[in-house]
Structure 1
Amino acid sequence: MDALFEAASVARQNAYAPYSRFKVAASIRTPSGSIYSGVNVESASFPVGTCAEAGAIAAMVLAGERQISEILIVGEGDALVTPCGACRQRIFEFAGGGDPRIHVAGPGGVRTSFSLHLLLPHAFGPDLMPP
């Protein structure tokens, strides 16, 4: 958990959030033990920006990995910064049939953890696609 938090905390410094000033980072651990990070990237042309979770998933896929064991999201403020609906679906896509833990953190550390199935019950995924 410490390695995920450290990776996300370091990454968050490079988030591009000139409009909201709300920097978010995510770090993913895969079954191999590798960690991949991403940050939110805003655009003046709303809503063209990307979420931190999407960036971390893209980095994981670029490295040739396809499964998330756990993910940690770190943001600012007192509220829990949980993945948006689109990112919950993205995480489900790469869950590999499992139920990865989603850890939510603030600058001071992890605040809580959820199972993906709790955050996205009855999800639509690849196993429901016709052959």
Structure 2
Amino acid sequence: MDDDELIDHAREATASAHVPYSEYRVGAALETADGTVFLGCNIENANYSNSLHAEEVALAEAVKNGHHDFARLAVASSERDGVLPCGMCRQSLSEFCDDDLRVLCDEEDSKSEYRLGELLPDAISAETLGR
């Protein structure tokens, strides 16, 4: 699967989003090292702090199914505005993904690519907790 196909999966995931408050749909497609793809969408709650983010939902589904080795993440919004994972999602991803995880962000006519380590340098980890 190429990058554009993974982004297409993230776009498709936006259709399942529950966003009665912001109306801002986000979808994520997380690809494992063996090529399996897990989708996630944002699920809002009136108490915003209880809302689930698309990246977290995809990651939880993958881990629940026994996957712990990841290759790429694509993120898309209904606005196709180059949405990036928020800080909380970056930290959650860093628990299971290496700094070199490719993060693809959907834009109107293109895509941006980052590495997780660029987006979250010096993440909190088991090693930092032990210091």
User: TM (normalized to structure 2)?
Assistant: 0.88
- 1:94-105 maps to which residues of 2 (within 5 A)? 94-95=96-97, 97-105=98-106
5+ residue gaps, structure 2: none
Q: Are the aligned partners of 1:71 and 1:103 in contact in 2 as well (CA < 8 Å)?
A: yes
Partner of 1:28: helix, strand, or coil? Answer: strand
Which aligned runs of 4 or more in structure 1 are off by greater than 6 angstroms? none
Residues 15/65 of structure 1: CA separation in 2 closer, same or farther (3 Å cut):
same
User: Is 1:17 aligned to 2:19, yes or no?
Assistant: yes
Q: CA deviation at 1:73?
A: 0.3
* Partner residue in 2 for 1:81: 83
Q: Report the AA paired with residue 111 of structure 2.
A: R
Residues 109/56 of structure 1: CA separation in 2 closer, same or farther (3 Å cut):
farther
Q: Are the aligned partners of 1:5 and 1:109 in contact in 2 as well (CA < 8 Å)?
A: no
Moved more, 4-13 or 75-84: 75-84
Q: CA deviation at 1:128?
A: 3.4
- In the alignment, the residues of structure 2 paired with residue 67 and residue 110 of structure 1 have an alpha-carbon distance, to the nearest angstrom, of 27
Percent identity among equivalent residues? 30
Q: CA deviation at 1:60?
A: 0.3
Q: Report the AA paired with residue 105 of structure 2.
A: V
Partner of 1:41: helix, strand, or coil? Answer: coil
- In the alignment, the residues of structure 2 paired with residue 17 and residue 11 of structure 1 have an alpha-carbon distance, to the nearest angstrom, of 13
* Partner residue in 2 for 1:91: 93
Q: CA deviation at 1:75?
A: 0.8
* Partner residue in 2 for 1:6: 8
Partner of 2:49: helix, strand, or coil? Answer: coil
- In the alignment, the residues of structure 2 paired with residue 114 and residue 76 of structure 1 have an alpha-carbon distance, to the nearest angstrom, of 20
Q: Deviations over 1:54-92 (max 9, x none)?
A: 000011011110122110000133643111101001111
Q: Calculate the aligned-residue CA RMSD, in Å.
A: 1.9
Q: Deviations over 1:1-30 (max 9, x none)?
A: 133122212111010001100000000011
* Partner residue in 1 for 2:47: 45
Q: Are the aligned partners of 1:24 and 1:52 in contact in 2 as well (CA < 8 Å)?
A: yes
Q: What is the number of equivalent residue pairs in this alignment? A: 129
